[in-house]
Amino acid sequence: MTSLETYFKNSQPLDQYIEAMTENKENLLSIYNSFSTPEDDGRLEKIKASNYSKVLVITEDWCGDAMMNIPILKHISEALNLEARVFHRDENTDLIDQYLTNGTARSIPIFVFLNDDFEQQTVWGPRARQVQHFVEETRSKLPAKDDPTFEDKSTESYAIISNRFKTDSQMWKYVYDSILDKLIIN
């Protein structure tokens, strides 16, 4: 099995990944520019004293969750001076298969936080709990898959979710708090 160190070293620096994006770059940068870390967040100081030095991001450009979560992670990694690198999920599924959501889904993004020795300290992703609740609630209104309106309703549902991810600063705060809380617990 390939080590996390090898995956990390063979991954793209986060800024290089963002620069090369073709699908969600504009929205990701808009979220990044619209969000800022709270100046008085004592959690950041507590986390700085911990063992984190790197974060390996498993993602793909087309992912709506990544579009919202990566800009928040970028702010956090800058505040904590973490080296962030991106591994493309679909290039080699051996890595994502170590981080399956609910034991079956290759959901992204996944953030693997590492120490100086490339040892995993904690993992976050693919969504904050409140964001997951919103997505589930929105999708719960879809008709059965065999319903003739399913495709249209599914497209509408995706647009609602995507728009909320792009514009709702409360969603961004949920992601921020969720990541920091995960980093403090470990």
User: What domain count does the chain have?
Assistant: 1
User: Average pLDDT, whole number, for the chain?
Assistant: 94
Q: pLDDT digits over 154-167, tens only?
A: 999 999 999 999 99
Query: Does residue 75 surpass a pLDDT of 70?
Result: yes
Query: Does residue 186 surpass a pLDDT of 80?
Result: no
Is residue 144 domain-resident? no
CB contact at 8 A, 110 and 58: yes
Is residue 13 domain-resident? yes
Range of the domain at 76: 2-129+168-183
Cis peptide before 143 (omega within 30 of 0): no
How deeply is 151 buried, as exposed, middle or buried, from its count of CB atoms within 10 A (0-12, 13-18, 19+)?
A: exposed
Is residue 31 domain-resident? yes
Q: How confident is the model at residue 61 (pLDDT cuts 50, 70, 90)?
A: very high
Is residue 71 domain-resident? yes
pTM (global) more than 0.85: yes
Q: 102 or 18: which carries more pLDDT confidence?
A: 18
Is residue 178 domain-resident? yes
**Do the bridges between strand 110-114 and strand 12-13 make them parallel or antiparallel, or are there none, so unpaired?**
unpaired
CATH number for the domain harbouring residue 66: 3.40.30.10
How deeply is 152 buried, as exposed, middle or buried, from its count of CB atoms within 10 A (0-12, 13-18, 19+)?
A: exposed
Structure-token match 């403090």, residue found: 184
Query: Does residue 1 surpass a pLDDT of 80?
Result: no
Tell me which residue of 1, 186, 6, 18 sits closest to 109, measured CA to CA. 18
Is residue 28 domain-resident? yes
Q: pLDDT digits over 119-157, tens only?
A: 999 999 999 999 999 999 999 999 999 999 999 999 999
Is residue 117 domain-resident? yes
Is residue 50 domain-resident? yes
